Amino acid sequence: MTYTFLDFFTDPLLRAPMLGSMILCAALSLLGVFVFVRRSSLIGETLSHAAYPGLMIGATWMSTFMNPAQEEGMALCLLFAFGTTLLALMFVRVLQRYIKSDAALCFTLASFFGVGVLFGSRLQFTYPSWYRAMQVFLYGQTATLLDVHVMIYAIFLGVVLVYIALFYHKIQMVAFDPLYAKSLKVSLFFVDKGFWLLLALGITLAMKSVGVVLISGMLVAPALGARRCSTSLIHMLLFGCLLGTISAFTGNYLSVKCTEWISERLLLPTGPLIVLCSALCALGTLVKKGDVPA
């Protein structure tokens, strides 16, 4: 079957994956800009892997009285993942008081992901149907997004935009000169805690489409590309959001059209394609005149 451009926004099978991934990637790109300017790019990788044990612990608990086909079970597993993500964030903040930041992040990533693998290994043999259902969150499955996911992602994007509008100037202080903000005795409690809460929530929501392994790519790549195309934070936010949205559209488009153009046997997963398109956009902005040696 041949799909036209409009089919990606009107067809019942293509509409939700396209709109959902575009909205979610726009929200993640905005948060990724703040992660980038705060020089905390590895935090996305750490928190995404820290969500994995929450999924497995939730699935282990749910497997005794619920079927993996039930949407309520999946939602509760994501709630567990959100909880372990927040726990990992607090663990990192405590560790950073005693050891270097990158060491704290690597230790947290390995520890939490190891716990997830431990529970996953047990789940694989006791409740294999639940284990297979959880693997979707590990690698992502954008094609399974529904209209309800589009609504959830749209609400999340709205919350991120409201957060930026309300605290933009304080966000600038936190990102570029936190010591100056402290000297002015500016209260940054809600700005800082709100940002980490939104980041943890965004990572949890993105596991359905992009997957645990690739979420950090959607946080960092658009921000990296936007940094080369802008000279101010507001322009960086706009360019980052645009690159994230374009990457989501291109990844969805190529995932479907490559099957038409090349072979019906060529099935390219949408999530990895979105991250790959985002990375190529970032690399394209890096290659400017004078950047490549003769």
Is 140's pLDDT higher than 50?
Answer: yes
Q: Which of 241, 209, 214 is nearest to 27 (CA)?
A: 241
How far separated are the first and last CA of the chain, in Å rounded? 46
Tell me whether residue 75 is in a domain.
yes
Neighbour count for residue 254 (Cβ, 10 Å): 17
Q: Is residue 151 part of a domain?
A: yes
Q: What pLDDT score was predicted for residue 82?
A: 94
**Total structural domains within the chain:** 1
Q: How far apart are CA 205 and CA 238, in angstroms?
A: 22
Asked if residue 292 belongs to a domain, the reply is no
| Structural domain includes residue 94 | yes
What sign has the CA pseudo-torsion 267, 277, 202, 131? Answer: positive
Tens digit of each residue's pLDDT (9 = 90 or more) over 77-89 = 899 999 999 999 9
Task: Tell me whether residue 38 is in a domain.
Answer: yes
C-alpha distances in angstroms, 121 versus 57, 126, 135, 264?
11, 9, 12, 34
Structural domain of residue 105, as residue ranges? 7-286
Mean pLDDT of 158-186: 82
Query: Taking residues 158-163, what's their average pLDDT?
Result: 96
Dump pLDDT digits (tens) for 95-124: 988 888 889 999 999 999 999 999 999 888
Interval 288-294 mean pLDDT: 49
| pLDDT number for residue 138 | 81
Residue 240 lies inside a defined structural domain of this protein: yes
Q: Say what the pTM is.
A: 0.89
Average pLDDT rounded to a whole number, residues 139-165: 91
Give the least confident one: 3-12, 218-227, 249-258, 283-292.
Answer: 283-292
* 2 found inside a domain: no
> pLDDT by residue (tens digit) across 219-258?
999 998 898 888 888 999 999 999 999 999 999 999 888 8
Check which CATH number belongs to the domain holding 83 and give it: 1.10.3470.10
In a domain, 187, yes or no: yes
